[in-house]
Amino acid sequence: MENTERKIWGGEECPITLFMEQIGGKWKPVILWLLFQEGTMRFSELDKSISGITQKMLSQQLKGLEENGTIKRVSYPVIPPKVEYSLTDKGKSLFSVLDSLCKWSENNLSR
């Protein structure tokens, strides 16, 4: 008998792994949730709204979300610089996922 078993839920083939690489982590879900709640936000507004994040980390996370197409960045040619972030249609499609995670967390986890 030939063993043709293949691990399909490991590494790059696993949809959960891909999701966590693109959207997961400590800060990206928080950023997305804020944009769901508040709509378009400036960098400084996001920075003030997220306790514990450094500006460098916020900038990196926003760049990653922009690269994967879940948020869009609009830069206005004014002084001082004005940059706004908002959800794309792809980003908006994550609402039910994050809402379900929030509800599950409220019902099942405690600090």
Neighbours of 71 (CB within 10 A): 23
Angle between helices 95-108 and 28-38 (to 10 degrees): 110
Q: Distance between CA atoms of 77 and 81, rounded to whole angstroms?
A: 7
Q: Coil, strand or helix: which one is 84?
A: strand
Domains present along the chain, CATH in parentheses: 13-108 (1.10.10.10)
Residue-wise pLDDT tens digits, 43-94: 999 999 999 999 999 999 999 999 999 999 999 999 988 999 999 999 999 9
Tokens of 97: 């996922």
Please indicate whether residue 11 or residue 15 has the higher confidence score (pLDDT): 15
